[in-house]
Amino acid sequence: MKHLIDKLTCTHSLSEKELLYLLEHITKEDQNYLIDKAHEVRMKAYGDKVFLRGLLEFTNYCKNDCIYCGIRASNKNASRYRLSLEEILSACADGYHLGYRTFVLQGGEDPFFTDDKIVEIISSIKSKYPDCAITLSIGEKSKQSYKKYYDAGADRYLLRHETASKDLYESLHPTMSFENRHQCLQDLKDIGYQIGAGFMVGLPNQTNEDFVNDLMFLKELEPHMIGIGPFIPHKDTALSGKTSGTLDKTILLLAIIRLLLPNALLPATTALGSIDPLGREQGLKAGANVVMPNLSPLYVREKYMLYDGKICTGDESAHCRKCIEGRINKAGFSLDFSRGDHCNWRRI
Ligand code: SAM
């Protein structure tokens, strides 16, 4: 096993068979060795820096019906909201004063936000804060729409592939197409965005073979950012009562991803912090190098409830900033408030 981990560390690749063997047979001691290697590789690529991004959840309306998600269209118990342009700009102003130089605009797939509205939001933020990067995470759109957002100034786009196993994907997304999700990621890459893919860990019926598919898919796509986090059930979905993904497995996969793609921007996600009070710190020690504290106004925080037990729903942005700063320092890392672009990316 150590030989396999050394091979992964030196060559940044393993075959499907080797990855499966690693996932099936790794012991606690080997896992600690792998995490140490992931930490070394992260230190070589980015040093001890952790990039901070201000996250704005600006709408929880969604036309999709992903069966795991608390804001799925058919959840009639979700209390819906949309932020106005003024509310978005006010949250960005707070974020800018707190030091953030990246704003991540995330939401359900909400047709109310037409391309013109999204372009207006991007241009307004960019004209006030030209030194800031904008990341969008608003789901599947046409290539034309993606291009309009890019031309308006959006720099990055997060679109998790969710799972690279077609059957599993289709069982979780009854109204969506596996092929279209992949096409969207390719379109975003072709346009010139820094792209983010990623998946959930511990979905019902998900196997190590599925994780191997995810790892091979990521290695081939080479996204600039990779968001992975545990699946956590939501009480108003069909997966209510199912078991969450574990911290241990998520950390193992994070460390493998750091070794496969040394330069990737890897967030220690909110979901990781929600399944364990020190989950994000453990993620950072296993190779993660991004944290996305919440900048959304307090009065909507509890409504963007993707899963039960989401952390930081009652904390002011300034409190989140302070809390995360303490956690990052205590874990032995330093905060970086620059835009934090991927080292190989330039706007075209
Ligand atoms: N609509 C956009 C999209 O499709 O990319 C972004 C919003 S979506 C709610 C953001 C991410 O939340 C998804 O990519 C999914 O991985 C994650 N998510 C949703 N429900 C979850 C759950 N129950 N447990 C963990 N993560 C979840």
Mean pLDDT of 170-186: 97
- How high is the pLDDT of residue 297? 95
What's the token pair of residue 144?
């034309």
Average pLDDT, the chain: 97
**58 falls in which pLDDT band (50, 70, 90)?**
very high
Sequential DSSP letters for 133-201: EEEEE-----HHHHHHHHHHT--EEE---B-S-HHHHHHH-TTS-HHHHHHHHHHHHHHT-EEEEEEEE
Mean pLDDT of 219-242: 98
In terms of Cβ atoms closer than 10 Å to its own Cβ (0-12, 13-18, 19+), residue 67 is: middle
105 CB within 6 A, ligand 1? no
Count of CB atoms within 10 A of residue 61's CB?
A: 17
- Closest to 225 measured CA to CA, from 280, 146, 157, 274: 157
Does residue 315 carry a pLDDT above 90?
Answer: no
Mean pLDDT of 257-268: 98
110 CB within 6 A, ligand 1? no
**CA 68 to ligand 1: nearest atom:** 23
What's the token pair of residue 92?
């960005």
What's the token pair of residue 64?
């999709």
Does residue 94 carry a pLDDT above 90?
Answer: yes
Share of the chain above pLDDT 90, in %: 96
- pLDDT greater at residue 142 or residue 348: 142
**CA 239 to ligand 1: nearest atom:** 23
234 CB within 6 A, ligand 1? yes
Put the strands of the sheet holding 102-107 in their side by side order.
54-59, 102-107, 133-137, 156-158, 194-201, 225-230
Q: Ligand 1, from 55, 68, 69: best to mutate by most atoms within 8 Å of Cβ?
A: 69
β-strand partners of 136: 105, 157
Given a contact cutoff of 8 angstroms between Cβ atoms, the answer to whether 191 and 146 are in contact is yes
- How high is the pLDDT of residue 316? 85
Quick check: helix, strand or coil at residue 91? helix
**210 falls in which pLDDT band (50, 70, 90)?**
very high
Nearest residue (CA) to ligand 1, atom 3: 139
| Amino acid (1-letter code) at residue 121 | I
Count of CB atoms within 10 A of residue 221's CB?
A: 17
136 CB within 6 A, ligand 1? no
178 CB within 6 A, ligand 1? no
Say if 85 falls within a structural domain. Answer: yes
Say if 342 falls within a structural domain. Answer: no
Say if 341 falls within a structural domain. Answer: no
Say if 344 falls within a structural domain. Answer: no
Given a contact cutoff of 8 angstroms between Cβ atoms, the answer to whether 73 and 62 are in contact is yes
Given a contact cutoff of 8 angstroms between Cβ atoms, the answer to whether 54 and 101 are in contact is no
Distance 342 CA to ligand 1 centre (A): 23
Sequential DSSP letters for 29-70: HHHHHHHHHHHHHHHHHHTTEEEE-EEEEEE---S---TT-T
**CA 306 to ligand 1: nearest atom:** 20
115-169 pLDDT, tens digit per residue, is 999 999 999 999 999 999 999 999 999 999 999 999 999 999 999 999 999 999 9
210 CB within 6 A, ligand 1? no
What's the token pair of residue 91?
């949250």
Does residue 319 carry a pLDDT above 90?
Answer: no
202 CB within 6 A, ligand 1? no
Given a contact cutoff of 8 angstroms between Cβ atoms, the answer to whether 52 and 339 are in contact is no
- How high is the pLDDT of residue 348? 84
Say if 144 falls within a structural domain. Answer: yes
Instruction: Note the maximum CA span of the chain.
Output: 56
Nearest residue (CA) to ligand 1, atom 13: 160
- Closest to 258 measured CA to CA, from 64, 47, 65, 40: 40
Distance 243 CA to ligand 1 centre (A): 17
CATH number at residue 286: 3.20.20.70
- Closest to 50 measured CA to CA, from 331, 345, 346: 331
Say if 348 falls within a structural domain. Answer: no
- How high is the pLDDT of residue 120? 98
182 CB within 6 A, ligand 1? no
Distance 70 CA to ligand 1 centre (A): 9
Cite the DSSP H helix spans in 67-136: 85-98, 115-128
What's the token pair of residue 156?
């990055």
Does residue 112 carry a pLDDT above 90?
Answer: yes
Does residue 191 carry a pLDDT above 90?
Answer: yes
Check: pTM over 0.95? Answer yes or no.
yes
What's the token pair of residue 28?
């606690």
Distance 306 CA to ligand 1 centre (A): 7
Q: How many independent structural domains does the chain possess? A: 1
Distance 123 CA to ligand 1 centre (A): 26
Nearest residue (CA) to ligand 1, atom 11: 160
- How high is the pLDDT of residue 317? 86
274 CB within 6 A, ligand 1? no
Quick check: helix, strand or coil at residue 254? helix
Quick check: helix, strand or coil at residue 239? coil
Say if 110 falls within a structural domain. Answer: yes
Q: Ligand 1, from 110, 182, 200, 296: best to mutate by most atoms within 8 Å of Cβ?
A: 200
- How high is the pLDDT of residue 135? 98
Residue 141, domain extent: 2-336
Distance 169 CA to ligand 1 centre (A): 13
Say if 343 falls within a structural domain. Answer: no
Share of the chain above pLDDT 70, in %: 100
